[in-house]
Structure 1
Amino acid sequence: AMTCPLITKSDGAKFGKTEEGNIWLDPQKTSPYKFYQFWLNTSDDDAEKYIKIFTLFTKEEIDKFTLEHKKAPHLRLLQKKLAKSITTMVHTPEDCITAIEASQILFGQGTSKQLKKLDENTFMTIFEGVPQYNVSKTSFTEGIEIMKLLTETSSIFPSKGELRRTIQGNGLSINKEKVADPELIIYENYLIGDKYLLVQKGKKNYFLIIAG
């Protein structure tokens, strides 16, 4: 058995099952992705404390990580070391890799290949809260013009003019791949898991089209 003192956050709040925003070891209650994100999003002070409690890094390793982190805190080295170590221990190395790749997808560094590798549960967890649009599967079977799909069938863009300008400015991605042709036809083979189409407008605006 492993024990540790009562764990508190930097604001003095304690960990406990009645506290909002806490996590579970059971992947059915907290997915590996959300588990990883929890540790990745800890404050600098909390990360410095938790890495000593929840990981098996040596004192020398932790001192080195802490020093490197303080030189460039925006890179969040401590949080990444903490999140990777504890997610691997609690879940599996494969789950941790998936969580890291999922994080990269959400924050703009992921690839289409990584996106298509995700299981449906992780996929939906990542894009929880993203605006969603339901579109008939028949539209994709027959093929639908991207202009129509994103301005009429869904309201992702208010006008075809804005959509065209976004494409010309290299600001539209479908399933993490840039769209260069405003006359593109979207077919069924574009759907992830035969169901989802991820639309990215600019760097941070995501929309999910669900075929059904």
Structure 2
Amino acid sequence: MTASTGGPHLLDDLAWRGLIAQSTDLDALRRDLDAGMVTLYSGIDPTAPSAHIGHLLQWLTLARFQRAGHRPIALVGGATGLIGDPKPTSERVLNDREVVSEWVDKLGAQLRPFLDFDAGENAALLVNNLDWTEGLSALDFLRDVGKHFRVGRMLAKEAVSRRMESDEGISYAEFSYQLLQSYDFLELHRRYGCTLQTGGSDQWGNLTAGTDLVHRVEGRSLHALGTPLITKADGTKFGKTESGTVWLDPSMTSPYAFYQFWIQAEDAMVGTYLRAFTWLEREEIEELERLTEEKPQAREAQRALARAVTAQVHGQQEVERAEAASRALFGRGELRELDAATLAAAVAEIPSYTAERSEHPTIVDMLVGTGLATGRGAARRTIAEGGAYVNNAKIETEDWAPADGDLLHGRWLVLRRGKRNAAGVELAGA
């Protein structure tokens, strides 16, 4: 997306997509980008066995720079992950070295599909800051790095100041995190000529601490670019659901649940998400935004968003499975065609309960047990009015009970009251 391709300048495209919250000097960065290939980096700490969609935003930002001809470095913090960036509320629990090392490998494998590691001159690099930190003595680190930092500025960082004001305080280990992250920028500049660090705006203090360190040590003025923190329409944190964080690992957030997260995006925010998380062109996104204003009930933008992001993370086949499951749950597809994993994931996203086979639950029992009916009288009325379905087949008698052949993959039933209210039942026991 450089001027030479006939499209918008990279920085103009990033700005249109809402991906520039802060910059050390945007005009100087533009000049450097126009002058030739820039090497940039963004880091992630292995504080969990999977990245989440906040990390995805950073990886996609690196990918946008790479597609514009620049060289991205993806850093996984095997060293910084042993310490942890200070949390505003409490001390981080330190994970064992073996656990952190395992998570480094997992995160590295997760991010690889988003960057091109075989692109020639601007091929992406994957690095681990433990490689240049582990052998560094405490004395050398304090002399060569620590002497360039002023405690007053470090105390001004919001997470640090909030912890200092708390009863718990902050450990020297977490307080020193900023030095470690800054040292990464210095090392990457020395090793690879890296001149730009990107990250979330909540990391701005750490990003600029890195540029300050390089300036003090090397006399060079480097760049930092902060992306905004994506939020929901009410300003609350984006990327959380009732069941927790939206992870990229399919064993932690199923592809079906991942798809559902995006398709449930608020009308007021779907355009923001399309710009930040997809590769759709400006004209297509603006058309989807127009459709959202004129026909919000059609949810065309949400479907485009869910398809695009799920395909990036889990592949097109999982998109098709998720859409087939969504259709089947609400009577517009065949439930028996869903594989067991997709069905289990879909059932996990709707109200459900478990019944013992030995109890021989009837349709009335199950409607009440799942909460689709408020009581047995309401369940009977639903049946009498023709609104009760099991596996998309209408149930017309109150004493109907499932046989083994009714169970999906030998375990599940999908109940529905009317067109829009679905629930799952798992029959347990022999």
Q: CA deviation at 1:51?
A: 0.9
Percent identical: 29
What is the CA–CA distance in structure 2 between the aligned matches of 1:45 and 1:166, rounded to whole Å?
Answer: 35
Q: Using the alignment, how far apart are the partners of 2:270 and 2:245 within structure 1?
A: 15
Aligned residue for 2:332?
110
Please tell me whether the aligned partners of residues 414 and 424 of structure 2 are also in contact (alpha carbons under 8 angstroms).
yes
- Inter-partner Cα distance in structure 2 for 1:77 and 1:41: 11
CA distance in structure 2 between the aligned counterparts of 1:134 and 1:49, rounded to whole angstroms = 43
Describe the shift of the 1:98–1:11 C-alpha distance in structure 2 as closer, same or farther (beyond 3 A).
same
Cα deviation digits, residues 89-127 of structure 1 (max 9, x gap): 111111001112223344x2433x1x2233333323323
After superposition, the CA RMSD in angstroms is 3.2
Distance 1:36 1:185, change over 3 A: closer
5 Å-filtered alignment, 1:71-150, equals: 71-106=294-329, 108-111=330-333, 113=334, 115-128=335-348, 130-136=351-357, 149-150=362-363
The residue type paired with residue 423 of structure 2 is Y
- In structure 1, distance between residues paired with 2:402 and 2:237: 50
Give the 3 Å change call, closer, same or farther, for CA 21–41 of structure 1 in structure 2: farther
Which residue number in structure 2 is paired with residue 3 of structure 1?
61
Query: Would the alpha carbon gap of residues 125 and 166 (structure 1) be closer, same or farther in structure 2, given more than 3 Å must change?
Result: same
TM-score, normalising length: structure 1: 0.75
Equivalents in 2 of 1:209, 1:187: separation in Å? 13
**Whole-angstrom distance in 2 between the partners of 1:173 and 1:15:** 35
CA separation of 1:110/1:7 partners in 2, compared to 1, >3 Å: closer, same or farther?
farther
CA shift, 1:88, in A, is: 1.0
In the alignment, is the contact (CA less than 8 A) between 2:363 and 2:401 conserved in 1?
no
Segments of structure 1 that go 5 or more residues without pairing to the other structure are none
Structure with larger RCO (C-alpha < 8 A, sep 6+): 1
The 3 A distance-change label for structure 1 pair 165 and 29 is: closer
Q: For 1:1-212, list aligned pairs within 5 A.
A: 2-3=60-61, 5-9=227-231, 10-14=233-237, 21-106=244-329, 108-111=330-333, 113=334, 115-128=335-348, 130-136=351-357, 149-151=362-364, 156=369, 159=376, 165-180=381-396, 186-203=402-419, 204=421, 206-212=423-429
Q: In structure 2, do the counterparts of structure 1 residues 15 and 131 end up closer, same or farther at CA, with 3 Å as the change threshold?
A: closer
The aligned amino acid for 1:136 is R
Question: 1:133 and 1:162 mapped to 2: Cα distance?
Answer: 20
Question: Which stretch shows the higher mean deviation, 27-36 or 163-172?
Answer: 163-172
Q: How many residues align?
A: 198
Cα distance change on mapping 1:16 and 1:191 into 2, 3 Å: closer
CA distance in 1, matches of 2:283, 2:366: 58
The whole-number CA distance in structure 1 between the counterparts of 2:401 and 2:266 is: 45
Verify the 8 A CA contact 1:40 1:79 in the aligned structure 2.
yes
Q: Secondary structure at the match of 2:249?
A: coil
Taking the aligned partners of 2:267 and 2:305, their CA distance within structure 1 comes to 11
TM-aligned CA deviation for residue 14 of structure 1: 5.0
- State the AA in 1 paired with 2:389: S
Structure 1 residues 182-191 or 45-54, which shifts more? 182-191
Segments of structure 2 that go 5 or more residues without pairing to the other structure are: 1-58, 63-226
CA shift in 2, pair 1:123/1:6, >3 Å: same
